[in-house]
Chains A and B, each alone.
Chain A
Amino acid sequence: MKTIQKIGLVIFVFGLLLFTLLPFFGTYQLEKETVEGNVKETHTEKMVEVLSPIFGKTYSSNFAFISDFKSYFNTYNDGLKANQEWDKVIWDDYAFALTKASSAGPVSENPFLFLGITVLIGVFGALLYILPLYRGQTEGIKNDGIFFSSMKSKGLLGMITGAWLILFYIVLYWFPEYITNLVLMVDPISVALSGNPASQWFLYGFIYTLAIIVMGIRMFRKYRGNAYQTIRTTSVMFFQLAFAFLLPEILVLMNMPWHDFKNIWPLDYSFFYEYRIDGMISSGALGMFMLIWGIILIVVGVPLFTYFYGKRWYCSWVCGCGGLAETLGDPYRQLSDKTVKAWKIERYLIHGVLGFAVVSTALTIINYFTGFAILGHATDQLHSIYGFAIGSAFAGVIGTGFYPLMGNRVWCRFGCPLAAYLGLVQRFKSRFRITTNGGQCISCGNCSTYCEMGIDVRWYAQRGQNIVRSSCVGCGVCSAVCPRGVLKLENGDEDGRINEMPIIIGNKSITVKA
């Protein structure tokens, strides 16, 4: 490793460490005005009354502050619940907003400084490490030493990284009040983009986009000379930056609902939720466009594009989850489980999630048109179960947190309902396949090893069979790592696409079927 790369690594780790420690800095002090400015009008009087004991009190850590806040707040609510005064209970969660507003630490005073010494310096360090990668080497696949690497083959570094990611997601989804310092750093950026202060989701989107861009640059280095990988990576970088990050914030600036035009139901599982539909309908022509565009994507876009190009058009070219998996997750692609058993579990899980999403959405739509007369409560219940179990736990904590443990496509492979839908089209009505080049396979196993979706590509290739699998996201890496030029992703006639009992070319003695 070159000296400059070592320096880059040190800087990156320094930034990451500071990022991790930052939530523990600063003091917190709640004032009456803070409460008045951050809670709904209907709650103001009560909240001021409930929280008055801690007004003016200075806390030296967010733990102490949140603990006191929760104790007063919960005592109040618990009392009401005990008396069954359900309508008086305050269901809104103000912990994040009030903690953020009470922060009196150095971060709120100097957000750019702290953004600089955590995230930006981390990006700088990462680039110092990435840009010189493979410099002076010839173009070609760069997989040397992957299975000797602690980070990339479930060694200690991989475990630590996985644990960090899992913890980060748990805090982000369920305890955001503890990372208000991190959110404060990006406040000015959020205000500049959308006019609103940042939420934890803005922070997440910001870091997510940076991760895709920085690790996308790594992809350019690693797959130098492979046009398919380069173009595909550029595409996911563009869609993340423009469609998932910038455009939605600009929409908010224009008083429109936050909307990601490339996100498709059922991955975008809340698309048909009441608040989203109402938000779109009440936002004029652009809002109506959002609604119609979203439905067109589901009904026409998915089947049409998948027919012509396979599900890759979305999963490895457009999707945000796919974008992160293909960039940040690329170093971990070899960790996916290739066993037939894993494939079985995959089919149950992913189609189960699709079923869940469809049922829950169908109920939502029925309810919407019947004015929530029937099953209104059940729908809410379903939404919260789905949001918790699938939207947060599966897609986030497991989906990304397990990159270093189970490979970079855990969510896409086992959980994503849109991937399941795209996969059904790809399997049964599509022109896409991975063609096996006659009898050239030597069963080496590079293709299967580097398949992030855990497809045992070799099993097909060595029997001369084309690979037509619903889960294939068309990343093209099997083809890239093949040492004998056996695999090619292509779109073509449906005739001969699925060759169940292929004849391996080259032996004229007999016509061997697989």
Chain B
Amino acid sequence: MSKANRNIVIIGNGISGVTCARHIRKKDEFAQITIISGETDHFFSRTALMYIYMGHMKYEHTKPYEDWFWDKNRINLKRAWVEKINFEEKALIFSNKESMTYDVLVLATGSKPNKFGWPGQDLEGVQGMYSYQDLELMESNTKDISKAVIVGGGLIGIEMAEMLNSRKIPVTFLVREKNFWDNILPLEESKMINRHILEHHIDLRLETELGEIIGDASGKVKAITTKTGEKIDCQFVGLTVGVSPNIEFLRTKPLESSENNKTIQTNRGIIVDRFFKTNIPDVYAIGDCAEFQEAPASDRKNIEQVWYTGRMHGETLAFNLTSDKLVPYQPGVWFNSAKFFDIEYQTYGFVPPVWSEEYESLYWEDDGGKIAIRFLYGKSNMKIKGVNAFGWRLRHDYFDKAISDGWMLEKVLTHLNKASFNPEFFKSHHKAVLDHYNKQNGKSLKIQKMSFIQKLIGSRA
């Protein structure tokens, strides 16, 4: 296939698809680029949906690019739902039966909220939270209600709790695990967030599972029961038990008439190799909907459902679509962030909820119980593996370097003042952490002091 004037079609206008389109355009001024979405006309930040509900922003504010941006960069936007794909003919068929052909197809269809077959899960007032449509639905579902239940103790769950809290709707939060998000966070961190959730007057129920959802005569939710039989009246149920790749349209609607129509290989997601290639030539998948045949790294999952990984998938595929030399997807040091009500969380590198004997951890928590930091390091070589920080902003470049270069824990600790990214005049904690370490290990390490002049003219550590 000639590269000039290729017709590249991207399904999905989320961070992966849009990043891919932008980077293709940067390197290829001839390609025709079309982004298809049924969700919204323009790219918006999915992570910001909660802020619309909370009144921090309007939908317009969540659009990272002004509307003229797409025309200017000759990226065609098409608002439609794709119903089927005829891979043989290289054609898309939309829900209104129109069709469109492509030379190169990028599937970036994102995720959809999980539902695990609970009785009553399709009642009115029961929903997940992922798309713009979900937000609109939540807006109408929560109008004038007096009680909500959220099922599932992950990021979307706590965000939904924060959303409802901002509208003064009482929330009962059912978490199956022993502590909030403890399949990701170590115990101390999980407990800190437990406390913070309670501080916001959320009725947090740990180790509690949903039994069934009960509807009234009109088909609206009126209560739930837990597995232990407790009944909780509510008019809204948020199902936030994770998300899975949004690929139903690929699986359930093959062209029945055409026997020899190729089908795309899927498992939980669309199976791709390290180059985001699917089993079908010229068809790629990136972002939440892609499932790597082999995990990209030992500490990575086969399906990466994070904003940042979506962006990197888009960047990498765009590079491969516009260069002769292909590069495999090779993510660097892991990083992620979140905000649990008022507590910001950042993580760099490898910090699993529990670790094997070859690792050791140093954990420090502020007296107020809202600021904490954990370092994970190799027991024998003392090299830092990862860091979790709560209520303490850290420099990405510092830890990217420290972790990839394998700095010793003590080097990290004695330069911790340079790692802080907190705003100016905020109380610093690097000394407290070092004191904590010194005390535990009977050492007397010191952080190099800044001179008065340095303090006066430079706030950068």
Q: Which residues of A contact B (CB under 8 A)?
A: 138-141, 143-149, 226-228, 231, 308, 339-340, 431, 435, 437-440, 442-446, 448-449, 458-459, 462, 476, 479-481, 483-485, 488-493, 504-510, 512
Question: A145-B54, A228-B423, A483-B344 given as contacts; is B460 within 8 A of A492 (CB)?
Answer: yes
> Across the interface, which residues of B come within 8 angstroms of A148, CB to CB?
55
With A and B bound together, what is the CA distance between A102 and B62 in angstroms? Answer: 58
Contact of B23 with A by CB under 8 A: yes
Contact of B32 with A by CB under 8 A: no
Contact of B200 with A by CB under 8 A: yes
Closest to B15 in A: A443
Closest to B404 in A: A508
Are A509's CB and B330's CB within 8 A? yes
Are A228's CB and B426's CB within 8 A? yes
Contact of A462 among B55, B64, B422 (CB under 8 A): B64
> Across the interface, which residues of A come within 8 angstroms of B346, CB to CB?
440, 484-485
Contact of B123 with A by CB under 8 A: no
Contact of B457 with A by CB under 8 A: yes
Are B393's CB and A506's CB within 8 A? no
> Across the interface, which residues of B come within 8 angstroms of A507, CB to CB?
312, 315-316, 330-332
Are B48's CB and A444's CB within 8 A? yes
Are B47's CB and A442's CB within 8 A? yes
> Across the interface, which residues of B come within 8 angstroms of A138, CB to CB?
196, 199-200, 341-342
Nearest chain B CB to A505 CB, angstrom units: 5
Q: B395-413 vs A: 1/0 string, CB under 8 Å?
A: 1110010000000000000
> Across the interface, which residues of A come within 8 angstroms of B48, CB to CB?
442-446
Are A458's CB and B64's CB within 8 A? yes
Contact of B363 with A by CB under 8 A: no
Question: A227-B423, A476-B423, A505-B332 given as contacts; is B339 within 8 A of A484 (CB)?
Answer: yes
> Across the interface, which residues of B come within 8 angstroms of A458, CB to CB?
64
Q: What are the 8 A-B residue pairs with the smallest beta carbon separation, nearest first?
A: A438-B396, A140-B342, A492-B460, A485-B393, A444-B48, A227-B425, A145-B55, A508-B332
Q: Given A445-B48, A445-B62, A446-B48, 7 other A-B contacts at CB below 8 A?
A: A144-B54, A228-B423, A231-B425, A443-B307, A484-B338, A491-B457, A506-B312
Q: B238-277 vs A: 1/0 string, CB under 8 Å?
A: 0000000000000000000000000000000000000000
Contact of B458 with A by CB under 8 A: yes
With A and B bound together, what is the CA distance between A415 and B23 in angstroms? Answer: 38
Are A491's CB and B458's CB within 8 A? yes
Are B396's CB and A443's CB within 8 A? no
Nearest chain B CB to A220 CB, angstrom units: 14
> Across the interface, which residues of A come within 8 angstroms of B166, CB to CB?
144-145
Contact of B51 with A by CB under 8 A: yes
Closest to A139 in B: B342
Closest to A488 in B: B421
Are B55's CB and A488's CB within 8 A? no
Nearest chain A CB to B10 CB, angstrom units: 18
With A and B bound together, what is the CA distance between A340 and B67 in angstroms? Answer: 11
Total contacts A-B at CB 8 Å: 179
> Across the interface, which residues of B come within 8 angstroms of A446, CB to CB?
48, 51, 56-57
With A and B bound together, what is the CA distance between A445 and B59 in angstroms? Answer: 10
Q: B295-316 vs A: 1/0 string, CB under 8 Å?
A: 0000000000001100110011
Nearest chain B CB to A330 CB, angstrom units: 15
Nearest chain B CB to A216 CB, angstrom units: 17
Q: B15-55 vs A: 1/0 string, CB under 8 Å?
A: 10000000100000000000000000000010110010011
Are A445's CB and B45's CB within 8 A? yes
Contact of B192 with A by CB under 8 A: no
Contact of B400 among A141, A145, A147, A505 (CB under 8 A): A505
> Across the interface, which residues of B come within 8 angstroms of A442, CB to CB?
45, 47-48, 307-308, 337
Contact of B329 with A by CB under 8 A: yes
> Across the interface, which residues of B come within 8 angstroms of A145, CB to CB?
54-55, 166
Question: A227-B423, A437-B396 given as contacts; is B330 within 8 A of A508 (CB)?
Answer: yes
Closest to B68 in A: A340
Contact of B427 with A by CB under 8 A: yes
With A and B bound together, what is the CA distance between A83 and B297 in angstroms? Answer: 95
Closest to A438 in B: B396
Nearest chain A CB to B393 CB, angstrom units: 3
Question: A227-B423, A484-B344 given as contacts; is B397 within 8 A of A505 (CB)?
Answer: yes
Contact of B424 with A by CB under 8 A: yes
Are A509's CB and B316's CB within 8 A? yes
Contact of B335 among A231, A439, A510 (CB under 8 A): A439
Are A438's CB and B395's CB within 8 A? yes
Question: A446-B56, A505-B400 given as contacts; is B308 within 8 A of A492 (CB)?
Answer: no
Nearest chain A CB to B304 CB, angstrom units: 12
Are B23's CB and A512's CB within 8 A? yes
Nearest chain A CB to B337 CB, angstrom units: 4
> Across the interface, which residues of B come within 8 angstroms of A492, CB to CB?
458-460
With A and B bound together, what is the CA distance between A448 and B316 in angstroms? Answer: 28
With A and B bound together, what is the CA distance between A149 and B425 in angstroms? Answer: 32
> Across the interface, which residues of B come within 8 angstroms of A512, CB to CB?
23, 315, 319
Nearest chain A CB to B454 CB, angstrom units: 11
Closest to A513 in B: B26
Contact of B231 with A by CB under 8 A: no
> Across the interface, which residues of B come within 8 angstroms of A490, CB to CB?
424, 458-460
Contact of B143 with A by CB under 8 A: no
Nearest chain B CB to A471 CB, angstrom units: 18
> Across the interface, which residues of A come within 8 angstroms of B311, CB to CB?
439, 504
> Across the interface, which residues of A come within 8 angstroms of B395, CB to CB?
437-438
